Chains A and B, each alone.
Chain A
Amino acid sequence: MSSSSENIIIVKNLVKKFGSFVANDHLTFEVKKGEIFGFLGANGAGKTTAIKILCGLSYPTSGELSVAGFDIYSQREKVKRNIGYMSQRFSLYDDLTVFENIRFYGGIYGLRKKEIDSRSHALMQRLGFESARNKLIRDIPLGWKQKLAFSVAILHSPKIVFLDEPTGGVDPVTRRQFWDMIYETSHDGITVFVTTHYMDEAEYCDRVSIMVDGKIAALDTPDNLKLTFGAASMNDVFIKLARG
């Protein structure tokens, strides 16, 4: 866990085109093991496209990609086993209970019944969800859904978890709590790859890449970025970049 220089995601010259529209224009970056990597950009800058390619939901037009040490073209199955994914919609099954959702996702990742039971027990204790164990997802508040969706995404102890705008639509307090969960996860050695358009959240990341029009316009630690661009906050950095 200590070898922090180890790259767990390597992307070289990633290009994704939709017809003549270039969503990702020669992206090149690395993500180090155990870090919280922020992927920032305005809506339509190409964040979601890139995260989908990294998760194997979509094929790149060209480029070399390695995720969790596996080639995304030839070792797709191995990549899938080692990543977790949470979408911006906190997708869970509305008509299943909290526990049934956990059991289902544990099941499709091949966890044994005992593992599922012990992990879901620990998870619900940590979140304080014991009372909601047998409640249907449609009956629990959005903030709970968000935490649960995240917990489910890391239930199988992946090497990397991809979070696609994980804090959309929730209140600031819940957002703060959610970032605490992200920190805990990172402490446990899981690499966190997170997209967001809340600039205050960018401050919480170890390193941040900012996308503008399908290209990576800047990539560094939040402190270095602020220094480079002579800005007081990440928000100012972003505005300077986005305005060109």
Chain B
Amino acid sequence: MKRFRGFVIKEFYHIFRDYRTLLILFGMPAVQLMLFGYVLTNEIKDAKIAICDPSKDEVTRRISDKILSSGYFILEQNLNTVAEVDPVFRKGVVKLALIYEPGFAKKLEKTGKANIQIIADASDPNTANMLVNYASGIISNYLVTMNTEKVPLRIIPEVRMMYNAELKGVYMFVPGLMAMLLMLISALMTSLSITKEKELGTMELLLVSPLRPSQIIVGKVFPYVFLAFIDAVIILVLGRFIFGMPILGSISLLLLESFLFICMALSLGILISNITSSQQVAMMISLVALMLPTILLSGFIFPVENMPVIMQVLCHAMPPKYYITIIKSIMLQGNGIEYVWKETIILIGFTAVFLAISIKKFKRRLT
């Protein structure tokens, strides 16, 4: 035990004397969170629009007011003719144009029908789609309030977005970011620190010493369990207090599941360092083989359900997917272990498999 303690102390020296490691460990979570939080947002706020209103009557003014007071849009420019739409879009500022037909209110009064054209700049298709949805939503909402008596039969859908009423992106990226960062720190850092000993030749000295291989491995990963756990807490605290991410479920369950995920990622890191003996290769494997799938195939950004079947199968082989499912369920829905036990068992299974392969590989290397 005393030997082991000395080993862990040495490991902390390595970490705290290398400012790059420290930067990755503690700088990255904060920076990533800020980046994702403020940059990668798909919420719409103050999108600039142009309005072409040749009719300028009571109804069109009210519709325009409603749209502009929604908080999603602000008026950039009034257009006189439809022909001005294209040049305005080309400047790149205006994302949406609203065009009323001439004599809008009169036509509506007479025939019960009038046309509004919504034109969106679809060079960014996601944003365009959302803007169009928002705008048409506001317009149909206005119509409903306007002719309450005239239409005898109406079906009014009442939409409620459960667990994320405001459709905030933060609810999606905090869990994803936790998975990504814990994976990166645990797997990348341990595989780097073990391969570093191999490169330096100090691993030989450790193996010659009375330390058991298992003690060496545990000693190497132990500090990272601790540090990754601190990172998990940092992300949760920042997510909670800066971005208002709710934590409805039990915090201890959340931390316990995070601990499990860290152990899974660490065993993956050990596995990587068993396969390779150079830091560069370890880094390549960690970044390419772990980061990309974590971002793309875990449901972090793109929903798994929309992927082709073969990709879905692949997604199910990605441990982060289960972790993200678990913590979303705990944080957003306030669920307990009875809802996430399946995913938990799968994570435990991954950990066991990675460790078993690592131990087998480690032994074979000695023969």
Contacts and interface: CB of A to CB of B under 8 A. Distances in A.
Interface stretch (A94-102, A177-185, A188-196): A94-102
A87 B204 contact: yes
A89 B18 CA distance: 22
Contacts of A83: 208
A108 interface: yes
A94 B200 CA distance: 9
Interface in A141-177: none
Interface string A78-119: 001101010101011111100010011101111000000000
Pairs of residues from A and B, 7 with the lowest C-beta to C-beta distance, nearest first: A107-B6, A91-B201, A89-B201, A85-B208, A59-B367, A91-B202, A80-B210
Chain A contact residues (Cβ within 8 angstroms of B): what range?
20 to 34
Nearest to B13: A96
A169 B6 CA distance: 31
Interface in B1-42: 2-3, 5-7, 10, 13-14, 17-18
A110 B215 CA distance: 14
A242 to B, nearest CB: 28
A58 B366 contact: yes
Given A108-B3, A108-B7, A93 B14 contact: yes
A55 interface: yes
Contacts of B5: 107
9 contacts: A56-B207, A57-B208, A103-B6, A107-B7, A108-B6, A108-B7, A109-B209, A109-B210, A110-B210
Interface of A: 55-59, 77, 80-81, 83, 85, 87, 89, 91-96, 100, 103-105, 107-110
Given A91-B205, A100-B13, A108-B206, 10 more contacts: A59-B367, A93-B202, A94-B200, A95-B13, A95-B14, A96-B13, A100-B10, A105-B209, A108-B6, A109-B3
B209 A93 contact: no
A93 B13 CA distance: 10
A108 B204 contact: no
A55 B206 CA distance: 11
B13 A89 contact: no
Contacts of B14: 93, 95-96
Contacts of B207: 56-57
Given A91-B201, A91-B202, A109-B210, A58 B367 contact: yes
A133 B207 CA distance: 26
A137 B210 CA distance: 24
B202 A96 contact: no
Nearest to A60: B367
Nearest to B203: A91
B251 to A, nearest CB: 36
Contacts of A56: 207-208
A58 B367 CA distance: 5
